[in-house]
Chains A and B, each alone.
Chain A
Amino acid sequence: DTGVSQDPRHKITKRGQNVTFRCDPISEHNRLYWYRQTLGQGPEFLTYFQNEAQLEKSRLLSDRFSAERPKGSFSTLEIQRTEQGDSAMYLCASSLDRQGPYFGPGTRLTVL
């Protein structure tokens, strides 16, 4: 399977805990995106990487959120001190020039 993969698929955590999600984009895709989707809504843009550089962050991305893409390949999204309002599906997508973007299956986060 050469699509975008995300790990874990589901995460349940208690309020105040830190969580980290991983995204592996389609091989050779230089652009990587993180989105968040809550029930009944369309995905909302969080942040964007071109290779290893984080070029844009949404106002939705509070200081508790941090994303990295250390070698321009996989990316991680960390949420510190999780809150119940962070419960959502976190989606990763990748693209190359005029192809895509293509989305991964998402990580569903539940904060108790």
Chain B
Amino acid sequence: AQKVTQAQTEISVVEKEDVTLDCVYETRDTTYYLFWYKQPPSGELVFLIRRNSFDEQNEISGRYSWNFQKSTSSFNFTITASQVVDSAVYFCALSERDTNAGKSTFGDGTTLTVKP
């Protein structure tokens, strides 16, 4: 069975600080996908990134970066120079099997509060 653990329930930072959200996963499959979603107070899940298990290259998109390490089964997400608009619940998710990447197991989320 697959499992996603986001150990940090809540994080609070001051604007412009860097913050890292942790995600640890468990799966028996060798082929799988990992995702991060943002859920702002409005409630809609916003797709941030999808990474397959064969691509361990770190990715950067603006102030966002992701660190995928198969050796530790982790897929951590860093926001650089955080802003108030980054305040949201962030979910990490895991999907087994390339053919069904939308059937995902989600973690319980990390609530990030960025204070001005």
- Contact surface of A with B, Cβ cutoff 8 Å: 31, 33, 40-45, 48, 55-56, 89, 91, 93-95, 98, 100-106, 108
- Contact surface of B with A, Cβ cutoff 8 Å: 4, 37, 42-47, 50, 91, 93, 100-109
Assuming the contacts A33-B102, A95-B101, asked whether A42 and B44 have C-beta atoms less than 8 A apart, the reply is: no
Instruction: Tell me, in angstroms, the Cα distance from A44 to B105 when the chains sit together.
Output: 7
Instruction: Tell me, in angstroms, the Cα distance from A112 to B107 when the chains sit together.
Output: 29
Residue of A nearest to B4 (CB): A42
* Residues from chain B with Cβ under 8 Å of A98 in the complex: 50, 101
Kindly identify which residue among A31, A42, A108 contacts B102, using a CB–CB cutoff of 8 Å: A31
Contacting pair B102 A105 (CB below 8 A): no
Kindly identify which residue among A95, A103, A104 contacts B37, using a CB–CB cutoff of 8 Å: A103
- In this complex, the member of B42, B45, B91, B104 whose beta carbon has the largest number of chain A beta carbons within 10 angstroms is B45
* Residues from chain A with Cβ under 8 Å of B101 in the complex: 95, 98, 101
Contacting pair B100 A48 (CB below 8 A): yes
